[in-house]
Chain A
Amino acid sequence: MIPANTELDRDYTFLTIEQANAVTANAVREWSDVETSTFEMSVQGTIFEKTGIADVTADNVDQIYGVENGYGFWVNYDTDGGILENYFGVPRNSVLGIAFPEWADEETGEIIEATALMNGWYVDINDTDGTQVGGVFTHEFGHAINMSHSQANGHLVYMSASYSPQYDGVPGCAGVTEFTSSSMLDFSAIETMFPFINVRSTAGSNQHTINVKDDIVNISDLYPSEEYKAKFGSIQGKLFTKEGVEYSGINLIARNLDNPYEDVISQQSGNMTQGRIGPDGSFTINGLTPGARYALYTQEINAGGYPTQQTNILSESEYWNDSESANPGVDNACAMTEIVVSAGETKQVEMFFNGYQDGIQYTPLISAFVMDHAKNGKKALGTTSSGIPFLYDSATKSFDTLVSPDGYALLSSTSTAMNKTATKAAITAHFNDNGIMQGGVWDINSGHVSMLEDLTGNSCALSSQQGDSSNSIWDMDDAGKRVVGTTRFPYDGSNRCAEGEAARSLGIPTVWDVKTGKAKLLPGTKMVDRSYGSGKEIAIMNGDEQIRRTAWARADRISGNGETITGSTNGFTQIAWVNGELVDTYTEFGAIDNSVISENGRYVAFGAIENRRPAGVKVWDTVTNTTQKIGSLRWCDNIPAISFWTNYCDLGYSHEELVELGFGLPSVMVLDANEDLSMITGRAGSPLSGGFVGAIYLKGIGWMSSAEFFAKQGVTEAKGLLTDNMFGLSADGSEIMAGIAGAVLSIEIDANKAFVCDNGRDRELSFPKQVVDAVSAGAEFGRCAHIND
Chain B
Amino acid sequence: MYKSSLITIIWLCILSFIPDQASAQTHQAASSSNKGFNVPEELLTTWELDEAASMEYAKKSAHWNEHIANLMPKLIATNKQIKYRFNQDEMVTIQAAKEHELAISLLKQTLTSYKFKFEFDDKPKQLQVIKAAGGRINIQADGLLGYQFLLWKKRRERLTGV
Contact = CB atoms under 8 A, between A and B. Distances in A.
A574 B32 CA distance: 23
A129 interface: no
A1 B19 CA distance: 10
B71 A660 contact: yes
A646 B78 contact: yes
Interface in A55-104: 65-66, 68, 90, 93-104
B60 interface: no
A112 B145 contact: no
B13 A104 contact: no
Interface in B72-101: 74-75, 78, 82, 93, 95, 98, 100
Interface stretch (A156-164, A421-429, A552-560): A156-164
Interface stretch (A14-22, A170-178, A492-500, A650-658): A650-658
Given A100-B11, A107-B1, A645-B98, A4 B19 contact: yes
Contact of B17 (A90, A96, A652): A96
Interface stretch (B48-56, B120-128, B153-161): B120-128
Interface in A190-239: 195-201
Contacts of B71: 657, 660-661
A100 B10 contact: yes
A307 interface: yes
B5 to A, nearest CB: 6
A331 interface: no
A98 B14 contact: yes
Interface in A609-641: 612-613
Nearest to A182: B21
Contacts of A93: 17
Interface stretch (A135-143, A362-370, A693-701, A715-723): A135-143
Contact of B11 (A106, A148, A198): A148
Interface in B31-84: 34, 67-68, 71, 74-75, 78, 82
Given A163-B26, A198-B20, A648-B145, A688 B121 contact: yes
B29 to A, nearest CB: 9
A26 to B, nearest CB: 17
A94 B121 CA distance: 33
Contacts of B24: 161
B93 A99 contact: no
Contact of A197 (B4, B18, B34, B68): B18
B16 interface: yes
A732 B35 CA distance: 50
B3 A106 contact: yes
Contacts of B114: none
Q: How big is the B interface, by class?
A: 35 or more
A65 B7 contact: yes
B7 A688 contact: no
Residue from B9, B143, B144 having most chain A Cβ neighbours under 10 A = B143
A231 B24 CA distance: 45
Contacts of B82: 646
A104 B6 contact: yes
A66 B5 contact: yes
Given A100-B11, A162-B26, A661-B145, A4 B34 contact: no
Given A197-B15, A305-B13, A305-B14, A103 B6 contact: yes
A306 B13 CA distance: 8
A536 interface: no
Interface residues of A, number: 72
B112 interface: no
Residue from A102, A643, A662 having most chain B Cβ neighbours under 10 A = A662
Contacts of A101: 6, 11
Nearest to B12: A305
B15 A196 contact: yes
A661 B120 contact: no
A112 B5 CA distance: 10
B6 A100 contact: yes
B16 A102 contact: no
A571 B5 CA distance: 59
A688 B28 contact: yes
Contact of A653 (B15, B68, B74, B148): B74
Contacts of A572: 123-124
A653 B73 CA distance: 12
A643 B143 contact: yes
A426 B16 CA distance: 44
B75 A661 contact: yes
A23 to B, nearest CB: 15
B121 A686 contact: yes
Nearest to A160: B21
Contacts of A66: 5, 7
Interface in B108-162: 120-124, 141-149
Given A196-B17, A613-B142, A648-B145, 9 more contacts: A93-B17, A101-B6, A106-B4, A148-B11, A571-B122, A645-B93, A661-B145, A661-B146, A662-B144
Q: List the 9 closest A-B pairs by CB distance, nearest first.
A: A305-B12, A643-B143, A143-B13, A96-B15, A686-B121, A106-B2, A4-B19, A661-B146, A100-B10
24 contacts: A65-B7, A68-B3, A94-B16, A95-B14, A96-B15, A99-B11, A99-B13, A101-B6, A104-B6, A105-B2, A107-B2, A140-B15, A143-B13, A161-B21, A162-B25, A198-B20, A304-B12, A613-B142, A644-B141, A644-B144, A645-B93, A651-B78, A661-B149, A689-B121
